[in-house]
Amino acid sequence: MDIKNEVLYRVYILLFGIVVPVSIALIYRTVQISIVEGKEWRAQGRDNYLEYRNVEADRGNILAADGSLLATSIPYFDLYFDPHAPSEEDYEKNLDTLAQCLATYVLKDYTVGGAREFLQSLRKAADRHVMLKRKASYSEKKFIEEFPLFRLGRFKGGFIAEKRSERKRPFGLLAQRTIGYVRDNAKPVGLEGQFDSLLGGQPGSQLMIRVDPQEDLWMPVDDLTLIEPETGSDIVTTLDIDIQDITEDALLRALNAHDAEWGAAVVMEVETGAIRAIANLGRTEEGWWETYNYAVGAGVEPGSTFKTASVMALLEDGFVGLDDSIRIFNGRTQFYEDEMVDASPYSAKLDTIRMREAFFISSNVGIATMVQNHYGEKTKANDNEGAARFIRRLKQFNLNLPTGIEIDGEANPYVKEAYSNKDDWSGTTLPWMSIGYEMKITPLQLLTFYNAIANGGEMMKPYLAAEARRFGKTAQRFPPTVIDRRIATRPTIAKIQELLLSVVEEERGTASKLRSSRYSFAGKTGTAQINYRRGERGTRIGGYQASFVGYFPAEKPKYSCIVVINKPRRGGFYGGDVAGPVFREIADNIYTAKVELHKPINLGERPPLAGNALPAYSIGDKEDLKTVFEYLDIPYYGEPETPIAITRVQADSLILEQRSMPDERVPNVVGLGLRDALYALENRGLKVEIEGFGKVSRQSLLPGTRIRGQAIRLYLR
């Protein structure tokens, strides 16, 4: 056989003897694994699937301005046991004591023997993620992880503690909607939603193995693959717990008293725009609840509280003065085919009044007539602009813009464009807009306007978040923001402030019965018809909305506040009767609670003390008395020559007079304390008897009696 054939034979033997059979076997096995046994192997693959999974970071807290917790995450732990993690030796060694601990503290339905059998059965089963206890506290977790076997740790002892967290609000419903929430399958709400990226921190990651595909349970492979999560920042809000509590309590009482549909109240710091309280309560089947942020999201027709903007436009354009006369036609007039009527009882008796009176009695006819006369027609008097000039003034006051507050859901104001067909502008739009109809604005937007008036014309952006903190240190500040340095001229602002004060201080003002003797405040009442329809048979009204917006103290405003109560059904519906008392209650309690609102009692010249407040007939060492009076800054007169002096009061003056103490005669000790009296009498050889307590009010021996060693009785009182 030649060499060539020999090589070919060997190749054929190798090919058909080894390669072909092995290839056929591999193809067969591949088909068997992928098709015949594929379902089983894929299931096992899923059971042992490894992947890097997120590790939840600790969420930051939301704090009140003073550091009080408004929202925090409370950790809890789901406790599991991996019975296949420990070695056989460790498992058997600790089985009895572990059964004893579990039966006593965790598996209380088991006896010790039952717990032992349970543990033995787990070792034989395939489950590597056995539930021991759900929602264990941190102290419970620390206690259980010290059990025998468990103390060896996750990978040698099989103890698994999976951390969870639950968001809690220590103050319950206080500012609930403003604090908000972040939930799965729901739109984020409030501060929780707005600052979710800061509060949530950065999740970590760890290599994990799936131990139960049905329940999607995962277990860490080891600690070496753990990338630690980054804890979230804390958000410090501008909310004042005391003011928030005051505001919510006052609003809740009013809603119950008037059987209203919903209510909102906001307290803002004038100088900065910081919101110190925001309350929103709506009627639900379970009672009153913060289901919606009406202060931020409810665009409503403001009614008479908008008259301030109308008068401010008139003043800014120089069309009127506070003492100009205006006809109110006995509180009833016609604009085209619609009749306007005053609610004020004073209007029916008056035909002509001053502009300031039209404001503080809240005359619809008076305000609307002034606006219609000066802006209602295109004439040379107002540069052929008519109502466009009025709308431009409203835009100057920023009443057409949202405030830009941090939380989502703020409604845009609706202010019609003059003569716009799109906005259904008609001949009656201007007069009705001037008294707060045919437009919409949220309570917070209206408060921002009034806050600017209180702040001398400087409009501040309302805000709820003051800073972000990490581990107690400031990481980011959110300072006050100025929207507009001057929404109107200083003279106009001063006149508007005067008008707002007259609403409260004038006898016929719509808020005159709310006047306080402790402090002054200024503001405007509002009563708006809601769900109304104008028709041939008149206007059908679906209810009323009462409001009051203002600021206090009037002379140096510290806080501004708005109260809106929707659909009061009993106890009246006017702003001065329903919303005004809530404003007054809030202001009263804030004034009482906040020391900075009070004038220091030691500021200014000290008034003279009344005679009954001065220490009359006090006797003692002259120098000691002088030292005391000088320390207490009590003026006195007289320079007695004797070492002992007595005080006498004349009108509002304190006079020091001498008190002689002769050595050979009984001294006068009336007014002295017991110690001084004993010293004076016993040093002169007298035997002293005592009756009573206090200072000497009477003595048995008359002053001036010659001393012969006799006894003297002192009566103390």
Q: Give exposure, 128-162, as e/b (b: 16+ Cβ within 10 Å).
A: bbbebbeebeeebbeebbebbbbebebeebbbbbe
Question: With the CA atoms of 280, 595, 456 and 564 taken in that order, what torsion angle do they form, in degrees rounded to the nearest 10?
Answer: 20
Tokens 């009705």 belong to 432
Residue 280 has pLDDT above 90, yes or no: yes
Q: Looking at per-residue confidence, does 18 or 668 come out higher?
A: 668
Residue 175 has pLDDT above 90, yes or no: no
- What does the mean pLDDT of the chain come to? 87
Residue 706 three-state SS:
strand
pLDDT recorded at residue 166: 84
For 69-72, which contacts have Cβ atoms below 8 Å and span 24 or more sequence positions? 69/170, 70/169, 70/170, 70/171, 70/174, 70/175, 70/179, 70/237, 70/239, 71/167, 71/168, 71/169, 71/179, 71/192, 72/167, 72/168, 72/170
pLDDT for 186-217, tens place per residue? 888 899 899 988 888 877 766 666 665 555 66
Q: Looking at per-residue confidence, does 28 or 353 come out higher?
A: 353
Q: What does the alpha-carbon distance between residue 540 and residue 36 come to, in Å, rounded to a whole number?
A: 78
pLDDT for 291-313, tens place per residue? 899 999 999 999 999 999 999 99
> Both tokens of residue 335?
């604009």
Q: Looking at per-residue confidence, does 290 or 173 come out higher?
A: 290
Which residue segments constitute the domains of the chain, with CATH numbers given? Answer: 52-237 (3.90.1310.10), 244-571+580-597 (3.40.710.10), 611-716 (no CATH)
pLDDT for 150-164, tens place per residue? 898 877 888 888 888
Residue 54 has pLDDT above 70, yes or no: no
Residue 28 pLDDT class (50, 70, 90 cuts): confident
Average pLDDT of 550-554? Answer: 96
Residue 537 pLDDT class (50, 70, 90 cuts): low
pLDDT recorded at residue 599: 77
Average pLDDT of 120-133? Answer: 84
pLDDT recorded at residue 227: 67
Cis (ω within 30 of 0) for the bond into 553?
A: yes
How far is residue 336 from each of residues 327, 333, 431, 534, measured CA to CA in Å? 17, 10, 11, 14
How far is residue 181 from each of residues 230, 237, 294, measured CA to CA in Å? 20, 15, 17
Cis (ω within 30 of 0) for the bond into 229?
A: no
Cα 420–chain centre separation:
41
pLDDT recorded at residue 217: 63
> Both tokens of residue 132?
């021991």
Which of 714, 281, 305, 360 has the alpha carbon at shortest distance from 526?
305
Per cent of the chain over pLDDT 70 is 88
Average pLDDT of 686-705? Answer: 90
Average pLDDT of 372-401? Answer: 83
pLDDT recorded at residue 264: 96
Residue 132 has pLDDT above 80, yes or no: yes
Q: How many CA atoms lie within 13 A of 507 on its CB side?
A: 1
pLDDT recorded at residue 183: 83
pLDDT for 333-342, tens place per residue? 999 888 899 9
What is the identity of the amino acid at 34?
S
> Both tokens of residue 559?
């806080």
What is the identity of the amino acid at 36?
V
pLDDT for 494-517, tens place per residue? 999 999 999 999 999 999 999 999
Average pLDDT of 35-42? Answer: 66
pLDDT for 466-504, tens place per residue? 999 998 899 999 999 999 999 999 999 999 999 999 999
Which of 498, 503, 393, 410 has the alpha carbon at shortest distance from 454?
498
* CB-CB neighbours of 325 under 10 Å: 12
Average pLDDT of 111-118? Answer: 89
Tokens 């809106």 belong to 564
Tokens 């004439």 belong to 379
pLDDT recorded at residue 236: 95
Average pLDDT of 80-88? Answer: 87
Tokens 């937007």 belong to 445
Residue 600 three-state SS:
coil
Q: What does the alpha-carbon distance between residue 446 and residue 382 come to, in Å, rounded to a whole number?
A: 27
Residue 410 pLDDT class (50, 70, 90 cuts): very high
Residue 380 pLDDT class (50, 70, 90 cuts): very low
How far is residue 656 from each of residues 470, 666, 667, 672, measured CA to CA in Å? 65, 22, 18, 15
Q: What does the alpha-carbon distance between residue 585 and residue 593 come to, in Å, rounded to a whole number?
A: 12
Average pLDDT of 557-578? Answer: 95
Average pLDDT of 117-139? Answer: 86
Residue 530 three-state SS:
coil
Q: Are 493 and 270 in contact (CB under 8 A)?
A: no
Q: Are 306 and 436 in contact (CB under 8 A)?
A: yes
Comparing 375-379, 427-431, 641-645, the range with the smallest average pLDDT is: 375-379
CA dihedral sign of residues 692, 694, 696, 697: negative
Cα 366–chain centre separation:
39
Q: What does the alpha-carbon distance between residue 431 and residue 365 come to, in Å, rounded to a whole number?
A: 9
Average pLDDT of 239-252? Answer: 95
pLDDT for 439-451, tens place per residue? 999 999 999 999 9
Where in 113-188 does DSSP place strands (E)? 130-136, 159-168
How far is residue 701 from each of residues 335, 676, 691, 692, 693, measured CA to CA in Å? 98, 17, 14, 17, 19
Q: What does the alpha-carbon distance between residue 551 and residue 268 come to, in Å, rounded to a whole number?
A: 9
Predicted TM-score of the model (pTM) = 0.74
User: How many secondary structure helices (H) and strands (E) does the chain include?
Assistant: 23, 30
Residue 627 has pLDDT above 70, yes or no: yes
Residue 9 pLDDT class (50, 70, 90 cuts): low
Per cent of the chain over pLDDT 90 is 48
